[in-house]
Amino acid sequence: MRLDQFVSQSTGIPRSEASGLIRGGRVLVNGVRITKASTHIDPAAEVLLHGERIVLPGNIYLMLHKPAGVISATEDPAHRTVLDLVDHPHRYTLHVVGRLDKDTTGLLLLTNDGDWSHRLMSPRHHVPKTYLATLAESLTEAAAQQLRAGVQLHGEKGLTKPAEVEILPTQQARITIAEGKYHQVKRMLAAVGNRVEALHRERIGGLVLDTELPPGEWRVLQGAELGLL
């Protein structure tokens, strides 16, 4: 891996800062001073920063209660991102697993384990995601049947895969899909003549958003929770 990446991930400082330290001669790899940030090193090498050994963190898995108004990215020049909400010491190593729209709230996962997030989001694994949608109009049983059977979204090849749909009072519906097309839930509801006014992700696989977690807060996933995914 690149040396600037190693220094950033093991200390939690941004990559640009890590590069500056490397260029400034503060980093030794196996006893040799390296000043080029892009140098590739063995992740098991002995790396010293200011004379202190630094090592890569283990895998990190977090759940965040995403509030509306922040984007599901790790950096953005113009908008507040979900990473701005995560004051974890290794926050710069994290990426988002399965984005939510800016106005969507609810369960969002962050990790530094690329294999895990890839498996979770791969269409081959069909991990179900459950959303609570607040609608412009009450969902009719006929529309719910259409969503269960699959609907044609503009610009997509086939129908959407069968969804689970529960009609709730107060113009809401609980919808579970095992795909992740762009704006999928909103587009599915538009395809049956309705409109999503608010969207909240409640669950991914068997993992439910912690009800004790207020919007904007995060916590580390417990070992057993990883099994639920």
By the criterion CB under 6 A, which residues form the site for ligand URA?
Answer: 100-101, 104, 183-186, 199
Smallest distance from ligand URA to CB 100, Å: 4
Q: Which is nearer to ligand URA, 27 or 132 (CB)?
A: 132
Smallest distance from ligand URA to CB 131, Å: 6
122 burial level (CB within 10 Å; 0-12, 13-18, 19+): exposed
Q: What are the CA-CA distances from residue 14 to residues 76, 162, 206, 224 (Å)?
A: 14, 43, 33, 31
CA distance 185 to 177: 8
Residues in the chain: 229
Smallest distance from ligand URA to CB 95, Å: 17
CA distance 167 to 177: 15
Q: Which is nearer to ligand URA, 197 or 225 (CB)?
A: 197
Smallest distance from ligand URA to CB 6, Å: 34
Supply 133's token pair: 């949608």
CA distance 170 to 168: 7
Q: Which of 101, 103, 113, 115 is catalytic?
A: 101
Q: Which of 201, 202, 203 is nearest to 184 (CA)?
A: 201
SS3 144: helix
Q: Which is nearer to ligand URA, 41 or 132 (CB)?
A: 132
Q: Which is nearer to ligand URA, 104 or 172 (CB)?
A: 104
CA distance 207 to 89: 24
Catalytic residue flag (residue 101)? yes
Q: Which residues are part of the catalytic machinery?
A: 101
